[in-house]
Amino acid sequence: MLQVRRVALFLALALLFLAANRAAYKGWFMDDDLDNLAWTQHHTLPEFAAGLASPLFAEFNYRPAGHVIYHLLGKHVGLEYGWYVAVMHLLHLVNVLLVWLLARRLGAGERGAGVGALLFAFHMACFDAYWKPMFVFDVVAALFYLLALHAYLSPRWWLALLPFWFAYKGKELAVTLPAVLLLYEFTLGERRWKRVLPFAAIAASFTLQGVFKNAPTDNDYTLRFTPLAVWRTLEFYSSKILLLPWAGLLLIPAGWLVKDRRARFALLAIPLMLGPLWFLPGRLFAVYLYLPLIGLALWLAFASERWRGWVLALFFAVWLPWNYQLLREGRKAALTIGPENREYVEQIAAFAQKNPNLRTILFDGGPAGMNEWGVRGALRWHYRHPGLRMAAVNSEEARKWLETGEIALIGWDRARRTLITAVRNEAEPDVAYIAMSEGLRVWQFGEGWYPIEGGFRWTQPRAFARLLRPAGAREFEVRTNLGPLQFAEQGRVGLELLIEGESQGVQVWDREGWFVRRWAVEPEEDERVVEIELRAVAPYRPSNGDPRVFGAAVAALGFVSR
């Protein structure tokens, strides 16, 4: 009867979790997902197995325990998103069960273990681990980490070496396990510290490889061993672990003052489990607390045993509604980004079906929630040719390709959620007039143009283009959008037109909206290609946090006849 009750309670918790997160199945892939899906399809199961077994850092296969999930799901279900979320949820619920079992193994009662498992199941700092497959690495690492802890607490403690190895191959944060095991030996164990040496040796090897690999870099992934870095990470994670600003700092003195040795072990394990995250201020994500939350859940399992029933009820009466409010906020953001990503990739699929033989593709921006590697992943997914060349249109690489062979260009109009495409043959002539919403003729653009958005393209204070000047053309036209923010902050936009370096004068836009201005130009007898420049009278620096410096939002430009 006791076993039946346990199973029923666990199933009830699982159903509650799935009901609360059912909308996750309506989301869609993020940029990291698309990148992982694309490249993992070019490798085989034996390669992932080799990466899993190798003691060396592999550039392309450094998290094989998670990458193999992308490989298998990508191969068998493609872009059917629901399967990826289902796998995440299944793994998470297994972790919830393992947390309950670990609490029981360390001496917690039925109620205390259940309370700790409930906290671990619904902690909204880890919302992304329930909604975004790109964080499957954190969930997989925690799974093997928990299995390693269980194995270490058994008579055959050495069996923990294998899940520890797999945990690290899921995510590097698992390298903290030896420190947690040493903490266990000196708080709850029999101080048999020599048992920890094999784990420490493996962790030292992986850590040294990671440090030497990381040393030459200078980006968001660079480890920074400075007081400022630690302060920034302390501020962030202490404000996320208890879902209130700086509240997590209370756990530090509690770890030393609490009398229950089990609770002390759990609390002191939390900062140890953060490990390298203390020195990674460029990558601050609340979901990275997924593994350290094991310590918080264990602490609550032990602490709640001393609480009266009404105290426990009051705790969850506050905790669960607050978590649900945070869930609603995260859900709103996820369901805003996901559909746009889906539409973008589906339109790329349609474009790829019509143009299957392309070998060079330049991309001009993408959805608001997608970085460049997501765009590359989407293209690699639909163009499986190993020789595919890709680059952002404003990159040095792209400039080398613009003048050679057949090139495809894809851009994303975020306002209309429409893919804008162009395919240029090498012999295709330049045109005299370019409308931004009708195609991407970026091979005619020089420096000074930002990616397309909302039917227009922002210029920098100086922007260049190459246009055909037809014989007899008497006017040059520019259509711009003077938006509410720019109008409120700048009042007017002035553009000077230069053709082959000669000024044609200045035109001014002084009202909010879409307007056309024309410059009179001297007609010529023969058509020819000329360089034009749009030079802003006053650069525009918006107050909305965008660090770019603008000129004008240009929707169309070119030579026209009266």
Asked whether the beta carbons of 510 and 491 are under 8 A apart, the reply is yes
Q: Given this model, what pLDDT does residue 90 score?
A: 97
Q: Which amino acid is at 8?
A: A
Q: Where are the domains of the chain?
A: 27-306, 321-428, 432-562
pLDDT in tens, the chain (562 residues): 668 888 888 999 999 999 999 999 999 999 999 999 999 999 999 999 999 999 987 767 779 999 999 999 999 999 999 999 999 999 999 999 999 999 999 999 999 999 999 999 999 999 999 999 999 999 999 999 999 999 999 999 999 999 999 999 999 999 999 999 999 999 999 999 999 999 999 999 998 888 887 777 778 888 888 999 999 999 999 999 999 899 999 988 887 788 899 999 999 999 999 999 999 999 999 999 999 999 999 999 999 988 888 888 898 889 889 998 999 999 998 999 999 999 999 999 999 999 998 999 999 888 988 999 999 999 999 998 888 999 988 888 888 887 777 889 898 888 888 898 888 876 778 899 999 877 678 888 888 998 888 789 999 999 999 999 999 999 999 999 999 999 999 989 999 999 999 999 999 999 999 999 999 999 998 999 999 999 999 999 999 888 999 999 999 999 998 6
Residue 390: strand pairing partners: 361
- Reported pTM: 0.88
Q: What is the DSSP letter of 332?
A: H
194-197: which pairs have CB atoms within 8 A and are 24 or more residues apart? 195/152, 195/157
Q: Given this model, what pLDDT does residue 440 score?
A: 75
Instruction: Reduce the secondary structure of 218-251 to three states and give it as a string.
Output: CCCCCCCCCHHHHHHHHHHHHHHCCCCCCHHHHH
Q: Given this model, what pLDDT does residue 141 score?
A: 97
Q: Given this model, what pLDDT does residue 219 score?
A: 82
φ/ψ region of 448 (left if φ > 0, alpha if ψ in -120 to 50, else beta) reads left
Distance of CA 102 to CAs 291, 294, 312, 390, 526, Å? 14, 10, 21, 48, 84
- Output the DSSP codes for 24-47: GGG----HHHHHHHHHHTTS-HHH
Asked whether the beta carbons of 365 and 417 are under 8 A apart, the reply is no
Asked whether the beta carbons of 532 and 447 are under 8 A apart, the reply is no
Half-sphere exposure for 88 (CA within 13 Å, toward CB)? 27
Q: Rounded to a whole number, what is the distance in angstroms from the first to the last CA of the chain?
A: 90
Q: Rounded to whole angstroms, how far apart are CA atoms 50 and 66? A: 14
- Helix 293-303 to helix 110-121 angle (10° resolution) is 150
Structure-token match 């850092």, residue found: 57
Q: Rounded to whole angstroms, how far apart are CA atoms 363 and 436? A: 14
Which numeric CATH code is attached to 432-562? Answer: 2.60.120.260
Q: What is the DSSP letter of 440?
A: -
- Write out the two tokens for 271: 């900062």
Q: Rounded to whole angstroms, how far apart are CA atoms 146 and 103? A: 11
Q: Rounded to whole angstroms, how far apart are CA atoms 146 and 163? A: 8
Contacts for 377 with CB less than 8 Å, ≥ 6 apart:
31, 33, 34, 35, 36, 37, 38, 39
Structure-token match 């002390």, residue found: 264
